[in-house]
Structure 1
Amino acid sequence: MSNIQKGNEMKKVNIPVKTIAGILVGVIGVMGSIYTVNEGHIGIVKRFSEAKQQVNPGLHFKIPFIDSVEEIEVRTRKNEERMASSTKEQMPVTISVSVNWTVDKAAALDLFRQYGGLTQFENRILDPRFRSATKDVIPQYDAEKLIQDRAGAIQAIEANLIEEMKSFPVTVDNIQIEDIKLPAKYLTSIETKQTEKNLADAEKHKLARQNLEAQRDVNTAKAKADGIRLVAIAEAESIRIKGLAEAESITAKAKALNNNPLIIKLTEAQNWDGKLPATILGSGNMPILDMREKSNK
């Protein structure tokens, strides 16, 4: 193939530079007009750096080279502050507290316009008020109560912060006291105090147990005494009843004898062993001899 033919073929496939540039500009324009907003965020559309509107997560279109998009997170965020304070008895304490907060979706554009984004809002609005709410509460508690009643301190801090933030387009909740650091000397004294308290409680428990055992012995002795007393009462009552019965029997017998003298004879006859008396004493000094022995001889 000659050089002339090759040149003619190159002219046939040659694309004008203007056309290529136009295609490139079109592709860049199309690509620049499409954007997405991630889930959990709100897109702030800016035109020449002026915030114009907010858009929800998903696929959107904008004017290429003119509009830009900045995202604001509307999921729950956590801020943690570590600060020095003092307790009610002027004891220095270092405390770490955290708070969860969420931007109101409907007000994301207003927040961006006023504060320029979440970082500036945290630094200028949220964090200073959070520290202030915490430092207002901690001095109301002495060190021991602060440790024992952490939930009460948390509720007080939360109430203060909610009041401070009620005019801003955010919601604050779930405040936590993450850590409390007290002086080492105080912790040692607390440990000693707790040890002494445990020993006192153990001694009190021991004394209560001894009292319980002593009371149990007293109850046992009382029960035995009550048992003996009841037995004695029963025996005495039995003897009294038997005596009454015997007295009634004697009275009945005496009454029967008075009414019928022959019963005496009958009783003597029933009790006689068949023998006559060996001697009989008379009214005089001479004894009456037993004539039965003589007659038998």
Structure 2
Amino acid sequence: MYEQDQAAAVKRIKRYITLAIVAVVVFPILLGTFFTVEEGHIGIVKRFSEAKYQVNPGIHFKVPMIDSVEEIEVRTRKNEENMASSTAEQMPVTVAVSVNWTVERSSALDLFKQYGGLTQFEQRILDPRFRSATKDIIPKYTAEALIQDRAAAIAGIERLLMDEMEGFPVTVDNIQIENIQLPQKYLNSIETKQTEKNLADAEQHRLARQNLEAQRDVNTAKAKADGITLVAIAEAESTRIKGIAEASAITAKAKALNGNPLIIKLTEAQNWDGKLPHTILGGGSTPILDMRSKS
């Protein structure tokens, strides 16, 4: 009986061991039948190291122990370069330039097959062309133009790089000149020039203000003179009108006197002060004297 129990125990132990071995072997195989791809990436499924197809983000199934998966980022990436170059006047300059680029989702598999991944594509294709475009454009600008019109230089680099990258499964955009490092001697000369310009602008402003004040005084004097002239004209016109009115009145009065002698008598009567004349001249040469005694 003891031997039977011992044999049964050995069988149970063997069964447990077998189940454990099966679990150890089978469980990883089961786990290897599915995989996930993170958002913003494309999964490249390889079979015996040969890229077969691409899958979008999410959970997917594959052949365990045969298929493997690599991810390619399809979000916007940024490359930066610090490049030594020279300006149009042969002045040494160091520029920090950046470019944003994105892998086209539908072409991720082709990019992987041709270049083996993003790092290889950057090193072999994008970066050399980016440096070449930048070094071709920067020497076309003077240092001053490069600082004042940075957008024109950026547009030139972008246009040239897009031409160079045509046909590749990526989109290139948003090129920026992050920094421009010029010799200190040139920066000092720029500062001196700007200071002189500021002084000249201040002097120009002062002269303009003086001219404005002088013009204001001239306008004030002219306004006063115009006012005096207008007053004089008004007074002269008033005098002329009064003279015309008085002349018209005299003429009318004369016509009235000539037409009616009684008006003369009326006028004399209105103008008489109530006293008799002291001397009356007659028609002859002998005067008539007033012989009345004075009281």
> Is TM (by shorter chain) over 0.5?
yes
Match of 1:11 in 2: 10
> Does the alignment pair 1:178 with 2:175?
no
Residue deviations 1:70-123, cap 9 Å, x none? 111111111011101111111111101111111011111111111111001000
Equivalent positions of 1:156-167 (< 5 A) are: 156-167=156-167
Cα shift readout 1:244-288 (whole Å, capped 9, x = no counterpart): 11111111222222223332232222211111223446765x865
| 2:107 corresponds to | 107
Q: Distance in 2 between matches of 1:268 and 1:56?
A: 131
Runs of 4+ in structure 1 deviating by more than 6 angstroms, as ranges, are: none
Q: Secondary structure at the match of 2:176?
A: strand
2:4 & 2:51 partners in 1: Cα distance? 60
What root-mean-square deviation, in Å, do the aligned CA atoms of Structure 1 and Structure 2 show?
Answer: 2.1
Structure 2 runs not aligned, ≥5 long:
none
1:129-278 paired onto structure 2 within 5 Å = 129-278=129-278
How big is each residue's C-alpha offset from its partner over 1:18-43, in whole Å with a ceiling of 9 and x where there is no partner?
Answer: 55433322122112222221111111
Give the distance between the partners of 1:232 and 1:162, measured in 2 at CA: 80
Query: What runs of 5+ residues in structure 1 fail to find an aligned partner?
Result: none
Q: Superposed, which structure 2 residues align to 1:42-121 within 5 Å?
A: 42-121=42-121
Once the two structures are TM-superposed, the CA of residue 47 in structure 1 deviates from its matched residue by 1.8
Q: Give the structure 1 partner of residue 36 of structure 2.
A: 36
Name the SS of the counterpart of 2:175 in structure 1.
strand
Q: Given the superposition, is the C-alpha separation of residues 23 and 265 from structure 1 closer, same or farther in structure 2, using an over 3 Å criterion?
A: closer
Identity of aligned residues (%): 74
Q: For the residues of structure 2 that align with 1:34 and 1:267, how far apart are their CA atoms?
A: 140
Q: Which secondary structure state, in structure 1, belongs to the residue aligned with residue 121 of structure 2?
A: helix
What is the deviation of 1:5? 7.2
Tell me the secondary structure at the aligned position of residue 15 of structure 1.
helix
SS in 2 for 1:54: strand
Distance across 2 between alignment mates of 1:237 and 1:82 = 87
TM-score normalised over the length of structure 1: 0.91
Amino acid at match of 1:189: S
